[in-house]
Amino acid sequence: MIAATISGSAQVPRTITLRGRQQTLYVYGPPAGEPVIVSSGDGGWIHLGPHVAQLLAARGFAVTGFDVKAYLASFTSGPTTLRAADEPGDYRTLLQAAAGVGARRPILVGVSEGAGLSVLATTHPRTKAAIRGIVGVGLPDLNELGWRWKDAITYLTHKIPNEPTFSVAAIVSDVAPIPIAAIHSTHDEYVPLAEIERVLQHAAQPKRLWVVRASDHRFSDNLSEFDQRLLEAIAWIQANAPR
């Protein structure tokens, strides 16, 4: 359930309950704008996630930011982690909350782990029907289903956390007819360019890849081009989404 109505043009924290676990949402932009859900990487609501949310809000989109690190951590305790089968239902709740005026289907924009979870959400038909399209930024093949403090070492090792995982390559063929766009850095230190190219080989049309010449996973030395490619990807989703 939503704890408060999503509104306001500046960032406004809101809470949502997913299967008994409270999550914080970060709301940007005009409530009547086209809805977009931005799912962060496993570093939390920092860096590229907020940047994307602010960019899209400035263009008139109603953006709901979702902290994927906190989401995974809330379902991780001892040997228990998030189950892949439960995730689409959680995203369906998010989609319903973000749909806003006119109950329009939101576009999912995911950063790294958040991109993987956005693809995973399409594995349930009811959730898939509520999604207009997916933009994966730095989309990896393998994505973790849990998060605990010791997993932070992966920020240094650039390896996948020692948690259960799922493969995007194994499920991405089922995304169609929803359009899937990917934006990738030429020098991504976590996800090599060849990896996203391989993943997209498994996807059906409509699909498209944008490659940005940048030095890292966060596009930190070329955000201006990243911003342009993101807006192009959103426009492409709008043009190719099922009616």
CATH of the domain at 196: 3.40.50.1820
Average pLDDT, the chain: 94
User: In the chain, where do the E strands start and end?
Assistant: 12-18, 21-28, 35-39, 62-66, 107-111, 133-137, 142-144, 165-167, 180-185, 207-212
Q: What is the span of the domain harbouring residue 175? A: 12-240
pLDDT at 157: 81
pLDDT at 206: 99
Tokens 């009616």 -> residue: 243
Any domain includes 5: no
Q: pTM value?
A: 0.94
Any domain includes 144: yes
Q: How far apart are CA 66 and CA 69, in angstroms?
A: 9
Q: Does the pLDDT value for residue 5 go beyond 60? A: no
Stretch 24-42: mean pLDDT: 97
Stretch 24-30: mean pLDDT: 96
Any domain includes 136: yes
pLDDT in tens, 168-217: 999 999 999 999 999 999 999 999 999 999 999 999 999 999 999 999 99
Measured from the Cβ of residue 160, the count of other Cβ atoms closer than 10 Å reads 17
Any domain includes 1: no
* Residue 60 Rama label (left phi>0; alpha psi -120 to 50; beta): left
CA angle (99 as vertex; 38, 166 as ends), nearest 5: 45
Any domain includes 72: yes
To the nearest whole percent, how much of the chain has pLDDT over 70?
95
Any domain includes 134: yes
Domain count, the chain: 1
Binned at pLDDT 50, 70 and 90, residue 103 comes out as confident
Any domain includes 203: yes
pLDDT at 101: 65
